[in-house]
Amino acid sequence: MPRTILFTNIGELTTNDPAPGREGGPLGIVRDAALLAVDGRVAWVGPAAAVAAGLPTALPIALPTATPAGGDSRPGRARGAAEASGGDDPLPPDALPLDALEPDALKPDEVVDLGGRAVIPGFVDSHSHLVFGGDRAEEFAARMAGRPYEAGGIRSTVQATRTASDEELRARLAAFVDELHRQGTTTFEIKSGYGLSVEAEERLVRLAREVTEEVTYLGAHVVPFEYREPDGPGADAYVELVTGEMLAACAPHAKWVDAFCERGAFTAEQSRRVLEAGRAAGLGVRVHGNQLGPGEGVRLAVELGAASVDHCTYLSEADVAALAASDTVATLLPGVEFSTRQPYPDARRLLDAGATVAIASDCNPGSSFTSSMPFCIAVAVRDMRMTPAEAVWAATAGGARALRREDVGALRPGLSADLVELDAPSHVHLAYRPGVPLVRRVFRAGAPLAGAA
């Protein structure tokens, strides 16, 4: 028997599924809404009043609003004709065959009353570095006293990570995962990159894989000490290791490959070697680029068809045009500019050009030690020229695009019932009330993750 949960009395439901009669453009807002989840998936979304008459009668009204997997609901992008007409596209191939269920199966086993508050999809944090030892609070304090951020600080975390035990790293990771859940993040990516030897990188991707399927192999984070010493083998020899033995050890645990294409890290040519080798090993491509100055990261990412290029702080006109014409998501990381006192990227420029923008935390001990997507939304709105609606979309649907996930990031039939209840009447409050813990309850696949009594 399927398990059915009715979430009702939702004052403002952000679905990220625009449809006729909904508000907020790409946010697809339904007011005074209800959502039915069956076996962890969204089965129906609509007015709460519609369920008063009984779910079986309400269901057929809403099912046709389902969009096909891969439908393009990015802000600024035209929607398909069938969708615009509320069309009759099929559900995603693995969606629940609701119409095959007996009417009794749709009677809720549980009713969750949202008390008129706002609900949004769970945050999708598409960029973090959560497996590491130590911290760099002193480096942060020195930076706030005027010292600039440099990529080389990564090496001090490498030292602390290499000496930490598996159990220490696991305990730390578990605490971070709890921290993410409590702040409304229901899907997250984790990168390696603080090991930088075959064994140490393998350990990091393996530990990351214990808590998420979105694992990124970042052996090309920086060149480690032992390769840089005057008589060391050098950067190109390290790239050989990253594309050879290290990749072979890490690829079985990873879904993605990444490279830090930046002054002080890897050149475009070295990054290309790493990314192409990763792709040949079956990994998807993501890139750290254009963080500390203008560079070739964005161009390389677009050329390789990367899912995402992250940071995008220093962009040329050609970079913006290339992103707008591509499927590569521009992932902005507001916590980095906050914590490094670099200038903020101009999200408006990217959005107006038609690029897809995601927001992620980049949680790491050096450049951005926050795991809070609400904080990132508030900064993006205040300092990167995003509207609250654009920022909420970027932190949910945008993150899902950056991870090429079609099962999360929106609340429409067939997708995972990942919901965040806000202690607020509207999604706007995430930016309007910065620093206030507005996340009240969090559900993933319909089950409570945090905050539920």
Beta carbon nearer to ligand NIG, 337 or 406: 337
- Residue 290, H or E segment: none
Q: Does 214 bind Fe ion (CB under 5 A)?
A: no
Beta carbon nearer to Fe ion, 73 or 187: 187
CB of 191 to Fe ion, least distance (A): 6
CA–CA dist 449, 419 (Å, integer): 10
The values of phi and psi at residue 359, to 5°, are -120, 135
What is the Cβ-side half-sphere exposure of residue 437, based on CA atoms within 13 angstroms? 10
What does DSSP assign to residue 128?
B
CB of 212 to Fe ion, least distance (A): 15
CB of 154 to ligand NIG, least distance (A): 4
Q: With CB cut-offs between 5 and 8 Å by kind, which of Fe ion, ligand NIG, none does residue 366 bind?
A: ligand NIG
Q: With CB cut-offs between 5 and 8 Å by kind, which of Fe ion, ligand NIG, none does residue 380 bind?
A: none
Sign of the Cα pseudo-torsion (418, 423, 424, 425, in order):
positive
Binding site for ligand NIG (CB under 6 A): 129, 153-154, 157, 260, 288, 291, 336, 362, 364-367
CA–CA dist 193, 418 (Å, integer): 29
The values of phi and psi at residue 186, to 5°, are -110, -15
Q: With CB cut-offs between 5 and 8 Å by kind, which of ligand NIG, Fe ion, none does residue 153 bind?
A: ligand NIG
Beta carbon nearer to Fe ion, 11 or 133: 133
CB of 34 to Fe ion, least distance (A): 39
CB of 127 to ligand NIG, least distance (A): 7
Sign of the Cα pseudo-torsion (316, 319, 323, 325, in order):
positive
CB contact at 8 A, 64 and 85: no
Structure tokens of 334? 């507001």
Q: With CB cut-offs between 5 and 8 Å by kind, which of ligand NIG, Fe ion, none does residue 367 bind?
A: ligand NIG
Beta carbon nearer to Fe ion, 98 or 265: 265
Q: Which of 12, 202, 362, 418 binds Fe ion (CB under 5 A)?
A: 362
> DSSP states of 89-125 as a string?
PPPPTTS--GGGS-GGGGS-SEEEE-TT-EEEEPEEE
CA–CA dist 355, 75 (Å, integer): 9
CB of 327 to Fe ion, least distance (A): 21
- Give the Å distances, CA to CA, from 15 to 33, 281, 409, 450: 10, 36, 9, 20
User: With CB under 5 A as the contact rule, which of the stretches 14-22, 103-111, 140-148, 356-364 interacts with Fe ion?
Assistant: 356-364
Q: With CB cut-offs between 5 and 8 Å by kind, which of Fe ion, ligand NIG, none does residue 154 bind?
A: ligand NIG
Chain residue whose CB lies nearest ligand NIG: 366
Q: Does 189 bind Fe ion (CB under 5 A)?
A: no
Beta carbon nearer to ligand NIG, 73 or 340: 340
CB of 259 to ligand NIG, least distance (A): 10
Beta carbon nearer to ligand NIG, 4 or 291: 291
Q: With CB cut-offs between 5 and 8 Å by kind, which of Fe ion, ligand NIG, none does residue 278 bind?
A: none
Query: Which amino acid appears at position 49 of this protein?
Result: A
Beta carbon nearer to ligand NIG, 35 or 261: 261
Size of the site for Fe ion (CB under 5 A): 1
Burial bucket for residue 258 (CB in 10 Å: 0-12, 13-18, 19+): buried
Rg (the chain; Cα; Å) = 22
CB of 182 to ligand NIG, least distance (A): 23
CB of 28 to Fe ion, least distance (A): 30
Q: How many CB atoms lie within 10 A of CB 210?
A: 13
Positions touching Fe ion (CB under 5 A) are 362
